[in-house]
Amino acid sequence: MYDFAYQKPGSLADAVSVLSGDMEAKALAGGQTFIPVLKQRLNKPSTVVDLAGLGLSGITVSGDVITIGAMTRHADIASNADIKAKIPGLAHQASLIGDEAVRHRGTMGGSLANNDPAACYPSALLALGGTIKTDRRTIAADDFFQGMFTTALDQGEIITSIDLPIPEKSAYEKFRNPASRYAIVGVFVAKFASGVRLAITGASQGGVFRHTEMEKALSANFAPDAIAGIVTPADGLNGDIHASAEYRAHLIGVISKRAVAKAA
Amino acid sequence: MAQVTLTVNGKQHTVEVEGRTLLVELLREKLGLTGTHIGCDTSQCGACVVHIDGMSVKSCTQLALQADGANILTIEGLAEADGTLHPMQEMFREHHALQCGFCTPGMVMTAVDLVQSHPEGLSEKEIREGLEGNLCRCTGYHNIVKAIAAAHPLMHAQAAE
Ligand SMILES: Cc1cc2nc3c(=O)[nH]c(=O)nc-3n(C[C@H](O)[C@H](O)[C@H](O)COP(=O)(O)OP(=O)(O)OC[C@H]3O[C@@H](n4cnc5c(N)ncnc54)[C@H](O)[C@@H]3O)c2cc1C
Ligand code: FES
Ligand code: FES
pLDDT one-digit tens code per residue, A32-55? 999 999 999 999 999 999 999 999
Distance in angstroms (rounded) separating the CA atoms of residues A9 and A17 = 10
Sign of CA dihedral B143, B145, B150, B156: positive
- The domain A169-263 is classified under which CATH number: 1.10.3720.10, 3.30.390.50, 3.40.50.970, 3.30.43.10? 3.30.390.50
CA distances from A51 to A131, A156, A247, B84 (A): 20, 12, 39, 41
- Average model confidence (pLDDT) across chain A: 97
Domain B2-77 has CATH 3.40.640.10: no
Residue A10 has pLDDT above 80, yes or no: yes
Across A78-146, the runs of DSSP E, i.e. the strands, are: 131-134, 138-140
Residue A106 CB less than 6 A away from ligand 1: yes
Count of A-B CB contacts under 8 Å: 74
Q: A1-52 is classed in which CATH architecture? A: 2-Layer Sandwich (3.30)
> B71-73 and B2-8: which strand pairing?
parallel
Please answer whether residues A114 and A33 qualify as being in contact, where contact means their C-beta atoms are separated by less than 8 angstroms.
yes
Q: What pLDDT is stored for residue B16 in this prediction?
A: 97
Which pLDDT score is estimated for A47? 97
Residue among A6, A104, A181 minimizing CB distance to B63 = A6
Q: A199 has which bridge partners?
A: A188, A210
Q: What is the mean pLDDT of residues A74-103?
A: 98
Count Cβ neighbours within 10 Å for each residue of A86-110 and write b for 16 or more, e otherwise.
Answer: bbbbbbbbbbbbbbbbbbbbbbbbb
- Taking contacts as CB-CB distances below 8 angstroms, the residues of chain A near B46 are 99, 101
* Angstrom distances, CA of residue A207 to CA of A70, A150, B57, B62: 21, 9, 29, 27
Q: Decide if A173 contacts A259 (C-beta within 8 A).
A: yes
Q: CATH fold of B87-160, please? A: DNA polymerase; domain 1 (1.10.150)
Cut 0.95: pTM above it: yes
**Closest CA to ligand 3's atom 2:** B100
Domain boundaries, chain B: 2-77, 87-160
More confident residue, A68 or B161: A68
Residues A185 and A245 sit within 8 Å (Cβ to Cβ): no
In chain A, where are the structural domains located? 1-52, 169-263
C-alpha A147/C-alpha A23 separation (Å) is 21
C-alpha distance across the termini of chain B, in Å: 45
Rg (CA), chain B: 16
Residue B150 Cα distances to A49, B91, B103, B119, angstroms = 44, 7, 19, 13
CA-based end-to-end distance of chain A: 48
Find out whether A157 and A103 touch, Cβ atoms under 8 Å: no
Q: Answer whether A50 sits within 8 Å of B113, measured CB to CB.
A: no
A106 confidence band (pLDDT: 50, 70, 90): very high
Ligand 1 centre from B133 Cα, in Å?
16
How close is the nearest chain B Cα to the Cα of A241, in Å?
A: 18
Tell me the C-alpha distance between A126 and A140, whole Å: 9
Q: A183 C-alpha vs ligand 2 centroid, how far in Å?
A: 21
Ligand 1 pocket mutation pick from A97, A154, A185 by most atoms within 8 angstroms of CB: A97
If one residue of B37, B38, B99 were mutated to test the ligand 3 pocket, choosing by the most ligand atoms within 8 A of its CB, it would be B99
Report how far residue A15's alpha carbon sits from residue A136's, in angstroms, rounded to the nearest whole number. Answer: 13
* pLDDT greater than 90 at residue A248: yes
Sign of CA dihedral A56, A58, A61, A62: negative
In this structure, the residue with its CA closest to atom 3 of ligand 2 is B43
- A8 confidence band (pLDDT: 50, 70, 90): very high
DSSP state, residue A151? B
φ, ψ of residue A188 in degrees (nearest 5): -115, 125
Q: How far is residue A151 from each of residues A41, A147, A179, A205, measured CA to CA in Å?
A: 22, 7, 27, 14
Question: A125: pLDDT confidence band, cut at 50, 70 and 90?
Answer: very high
**Closest atom of ligand 3 to CA, residue B137:** 3
Whether B49 and A180 lie within 8 Å, measured CB to CB: no
Residue-wise pLDDT for A160-196, tens only, equals 999 999 999 999 999 998 888 889 999 999 999 999 9
* Contact in structure between A172 and A123 (CB atoms under 8 Å): yes
pLDDT at A181: 82
Q: What is the pLDDT of residue A180?
A: 81
Whether A231 shows a pLDDT value over 90: the answer reads yes
pLDDT at A178: 82
Regions of chain B where pLDDT drops below 50: none
How many Å is the Cα radius of gyration of chain A? Answer: 18
**Contacts with B131 (C-beta within 8 Å, 6 or more apart), sequence order:** B107, B110, B111, B114, B141, B144, B145
Cα–ligand 3 centroid distance for B140 (angstroms) = 9
User: For chain B, how are helix, strand and coil distributed in percent, rounded to 5?
Assistant: 40, 15, 45
